[in-house]
A and B are shown apart, each in its own frame.
Chain A
Amino acid sequence: MAVASSDTAIRTGRITRTFLYLVLLLFALFYLLPFGVMVVNSVKPLSEITGGNMMALPKVWTFEPWREAWATAQIGVEPTGLRPYFWNSIKMVVPAVAISTILGALNGYVLTKWRFKYDTMTFGFMLFACFIPFQIVLIPMARVLGLTGMAGSTPGLVFVHVIFGLGFTTLYFKNYYQVFPTELIRAAQIDGAGFFRIFQRILLPSSGPIIVVSVIWQFTNIWNDFLFGASFADLDSQPMTVALNNLVNSSHGVKQYNVHFAGAILAALPTLLVYIVAGRYFVRGLMAGSVKG
C-alpha cells in the first residue's frame, strides 16, 4: 500500500511539474517574442521585410543594418548613425549614476546614523521627489538650467538626473543602513574615525548589495529616459533614446525597418548587459534590509 501510494505521489508530482514547465515555457516564449522579432528582422535585408513575413527567419543573413544604424544612418540632418549619441548617453549616464549613488549613500548615512532635528521631515520631502510627475517640473527645470548656464549640455542632463534619482537612492541606502548596527559607528568614533572616514572605511565596504541595486536602478532609468533628453539636450548632447526616435522619424522615402530594429536593440543593449552582469545581486540587495535581524 505504502509503496503504491508513494508511487502515485511521485507520478502526480511529475505530471504537475511537466504541466508547470510547459506553461512557464509558453510564457517565456510569449515574453521573448518581441525581442525575437527585433533580432530576426535586424539581420535581414529590407526587401525580405517589406516583401512578406515579419516572423520568418532571414533567407539572406546580413549585418549591414547594424553597421548602418551604428555608423551611417541619417539622424535628423546628419548621417552619423547612433554612435555619437551612444557616447553622449555614456557621458551622461556614468557620472549621473555615480553621483546619485554616492550622494544617496551619504544621505542614507546621515539620515540613519547622524540624526538631526526634522530629519524625518527632510526624508519625507526627498521621498516626495520620487513621486512627482516629471512633466510638472519641465518648465521650472528649464528655467534653472538656463539660469545656471547648463542648458543643452551633458552636465545639465547629469544634474537633472541626479536630482531625480536622489529620492530613490536615498530611500535604498536609508533602508539598508537602518539595520546597520549603530554600535559599529560608535566604536569607530571612539577609535577616532571622523564622519567621512567612518563612511568610507566601515559603511561603504559593507554596502555592496545596495550599491548594485542603486546602480542598476539608476542606470536603467537614466539610460532609458526620453523626456529629459528630448527637453533639455542640444544636438551635441542628445542621448541615445532621442537619437533613436530621430532615426525612426527622419527616414527619407522608404522606412528602413531593419535599421530601426538594429538601432532599437543597440539602444537597449547596455541596460540588458548591466542587468545580466549584476542582476543576481539586485534581488539580494532589495531583500537585504528585510531579512537581516
Chain B
Amino acid sequence: MGFLDINNATKSYGSVEVLHNVDIQVEEGEFLVLVGPSGCGKSTLLNMIAGLEDITTGQIAIKGNAMNGVHPSNRNIAMVFQSYALYPNMSVGQNITFGLEMHGVPKPEREKAMAEVAKLLQIEPLLDRKPGQLSGGQRQRVAMGRALVRDPDVFLFDEPLSNLDAKLRVDMRTEIKKLHQKLGTTIVYVTHDQIEALTLSTRIAVMNGGYVQQLGTPKEIYDTPANLFVATFMGSPSMNLVSVKIVETDQGIAAQTTNGHGKTILLPFLNASAELKSYAGQTVTLGVRPEALTDPGGADRDAANVVEFDSRVLVTEPAGSDTFVTTTLGGTECNARMRADVQVRPGDDVRFAINMDKAVVFDPKTEKRIS
C-alpha cells in the first residue's frame, strides 16, 4: 500500500467511460507525472484525486484513508492550477493565507506560515500586491506558495507551466524540481509536455484514450516503451519506426531492411529473446531513437552492438548542439542525430552507425513491444 493509492478507478459521464481501471500506487516523496495528449483523461484523474470530480467506481486513498466522497478541503491536498487561479480581489498575502483562514487557523500562525513560504519562494516584496500587478512567473510562485502554506500530504499540479513563455518555463521547471528535492513532498503533476515529464518525474504514467499505457521511471519509459504510442509520444524528435523482417542468420537473429539505395542490410540482435526469435520470418516494427542512429564517430563507445551501413542523406537540419540528418531505412524516412560539426550535405552518401543495444521491436498488429 502506497502513500496515495489509486485502485481500479474509473470515471464515466453518463454511459461514456472516459477513464478505464486506473491503478497507480504513489510512494511518499514521489514525483508522479501524468502525461498524454489532450483528452487522454489525465486532468480528469487529477481532479478525481483532488475531489473536484467524483469517482465512478474504484477507490482513491491517501495515507490509507479512502477519499471517495470526501470534500476537497478535507483531503489535505493542495492544487496549483493552469491559470494559477489567484483570487483577483485579494492581495498576494491574502491569497496565500485564504486556505488557512478557511480552516480556522488563528491569525498569528497564518502570518508566520505566510512569512516562511514567502521567504522560501522569494516573494516577500510582493505580498501586498494584487495578482493583476504580477508577471506570469510571479503569479506562478504565488500559486505555489498558496499550495505550500497548507503543508498538504499531496500536491497536485495541473499543467502549471503551460501559460509561461519558453525560457521562463525552463526556469520554473528547475524551480519545481529544486523545491521537490528540498521539501521531499509527494507530487502528482499533469502535463502534455513529454520533456517536462521526463525531467521532473521520479515516475511517469503515460496516458492515452483513458488508459494508462505505461507506468515507470523516466528511463524505463524512454528506453523500453511498452507500445508504439508510448514510443512515439515520448522523446523529441520522436522514435524512428521502420518495418523490418526478422531473419535467422549464422550469427543469430537479425532485422533485415534496405538502406537509402534499396540495398539490403542486416541489423543483428545480440542476445535476442525467445519471444523475438519466435517472430523469425515475420515483419515487425523496429524502433530506433534518433540519438541511436548517428555518424560512426559519434556512436556510443560503450555500446556492444553498433552496426554501420551506408545511406543517402535527404535533408540536414543543423540545430546548434546537434545536426539532424534525414535518410531512409526500409522506405521510411528516419531522423539521425549526428554531431554538430559533421560535414554532410543533402544527396551525399554517408556512413551511419546504429546502436542496436538501444533498438526496440514492436509487434505491428498488437503494437506492443516484443521483449
Checking A181, A190, A197, A205 against B83 with a beta-carbon cut-off of 8 angstroms, the contacting residue is: A181
CB of A127 closer than 8 Å to a CB of B: no
CB of A187 closer than 8 Å to a CB of B: yes
Contacts of A193 in B (CB 8 A): 73, 98, 102
Q: Give min CB distance, A257 to chain B, whole Å.
A: 52
A59-89, CB < 8 A from B: none
Q: Is the CB of A186 within 8 A of B102?
A: no
A178-224, CB < 8 A from B: 181, 183-184, 186-193, 197, 201-202, 205-206
CB of B200 closer than 8 Å to a CB of A: no
CB of B50 closer than 8 Å to a CB of A: yes
Q: Is the CB of A183 within 8 A of B83?
A: yes
Contacts of B99 in A (CB 8 A): 190-192
Q: Is the CB of A191 within 8 A of B81?
A: no
Residues of A within 8 A of B (CB-CB), count: 16
Contacts of A202 in B (CB 8 A): 87, 89
Q: Give min CB distance, A289 to chain B, whole Å.
A: 16
Cβ-closest chain A residue relative to B98: A191
CB of B77 closer than 8 Å to a CB of A: yes
Contacts of B74 in A (CB 8 A): 192
CB of B347 closer than 8 Å to a CB of A: no
Per DSSP, chain A at the interface is helix
**What per-residue 1/0 map shows which CB atoms of B119-146 lie under 8 Å from chain A?**
0000000000000000000000000001
How many Å lie between the Cα of A201 and that of B94 in the bound state? 11
Q: Is the CB of A190 within 8 A of B79?
A: yes
Q: A189-B73, A190-B50 are in contact. Are A197 and B102 (CB under 8 A)?
A: yes
Q: Is the CB of A191 within 8 A of B102?
A: yes
Cβ-closest chain A residue relative to B73: A192
Checking A184, A186, A189 against B87 with a beta-carbon cut-off of 8 angstroms, the contacting residue is: A184
Q: Is the CB of B72 within 8 A of A206?
A: no
Q: Give min CB distance, A211 to chain B, whole Å.
A: 13
How many Å lie between the Cα of A181 and that of B87 in the bound state? 10
Q: A192-B73, A202-B89, A206-B88 are in contact. Are A187 and B81 (CB under 8 A)?
A: yes
B69-109, CB < 8 A from A: 71-74, 77-79, 81-83, 85, 87-89, 98-99, 102-103
How many Å lie between the Cα of A99 and that of B146 in the bound state? 35
Q: Is the CB of B85 within 8 A of A181?
A: yes
**What per-residue 1/0 map shows which CB atoms of B296-335 lie under 8 Å from chain A?**
0000000000000000000000000000000000000000
Contacts of B98 in A (CB 8 A): 188, 191, 193, 201
Checking B73, B82, B85 against A184 with a beta-carbon cut-off of 8 angstroms, the contacting residue is: B85
Q: Is the CB of A187 within 8 A of B85?
A: yes
Contacts of A190 in B (CB 8 A): 50-52, 72-73, 77-79, 99
- Beyond the given A186-B79, A190-B72, A193-B102, please list 12 additional residue pairs across the A-B interface where CB-CB is below 8 A: A181-B85, A183-B81, A183-B83, A183-B85, A189-B52, A190-B51, A191-B99, A191-B146, A193-B98, A197-B102, A202-B89, A205-B89
Shortest beta-carbon contacts, A-B, top 5? A192-B73, A191-B99, A192-B102, A205-B89, A187-B85
Interchain Cβ contacts under 8 Å between A and B, 7 examples:
A187-B79, A187-B85, A188-B98, A190-B52, A192-B73, A192-B102, A206-B89
